[in-house]
Amino acid sequence: MSADKVYTLAEVAKNNTNKNCWLVIHNNIYDVTAFLNEHPGGEEVLIEQAGKDATEHFEDVGHSTDARDMMKKFKIGELVESERKVVPEKSEPVWQNANSDSDQSAKSWLIPLVLGVFATLLYTFYFSK
Ligand code: HEM
């Protein structure tokens, strides 16, 4: 395997058809020609990005870790250092939501608790005589 081969964006750009479909994702080069008709998201979206940097599109979909494992098979090289850029992964929105949810629920049971104590005190002083 020639996994460490280095390509420029101009070289990648030549492989922009459904017979020869390369993508740049996170500065790695993938030859997804054989994967086109197996891609769960359809071949059109891949062909649309053929020969280009598809990192942002790939991340916008929020691909699973399965998908990220799967793509290793199609890696054929890396982008030349001078043309690399960093795009953060967006794979774990579920965790972020879970964290902020639990933060909120920690506070949201405090309010009824305080109200409950207050109501009990009120009742004790005004109604129980
Ligand atoms: C080698 C690169 C890629 C691999 C291995 C891959 C793999 C997959 C897999 C396994 C899924 C099923 C859902 C999941 O497991 O996340 C999926 C869904 C999808 N992918 Fe990709 N994908 C690749 C690149 C791309 C790119 C570059 C785009 C956009 C331009 C894209 C767009 C989509 C869309 C729209 C879906 C459907 C999401 C849905 O139905 O909810 N994929 N892909």
Of residues 71 and 3, which shows the higher confidence score? 71
What is the model's pLDDT at position 90?
79
Residue 104: per-residue pLDDT: 58
Q: Report the alpha-carbon distance of residue 19 to residue 37 in Å, rounded.
A: 12
Mean pLDDT, residues 17-46 taken together: 97
Which pTM was predicted? 0.74
Average pLDDT value for residue range 98-122: 76
Q: Which residues line ligand 1 (CB under 6 A)?
A: 23, 30, 32, 39-41, 45-46, 49, 54, 57-58, 61, 63-64, 66-67, 70-71, 74
Atom index in ligand 1 nearest the CA of residue 71 equals 5
**How much distance in Å is there from the Cα of 67 to the middle of ligand 1?**
7
Determine how many CB atoms are found less than 10 A away from the CB of residue 1.
8
Query: What percentage of the chain has pLDDT greater than the value 70?
Result: 84
Distance CA 51, CA 8 (A): 11
DSSP label at residue 8: -
**Among residues of the chain, what percentage have pLDDT more than 90?**
67
Ramachandran angles phi, psi of 79, nearest 5°: -75, 140
28-31 and 6-7 beta bridge pairing: unpaired
ipTM for the predicted complex: 0.95
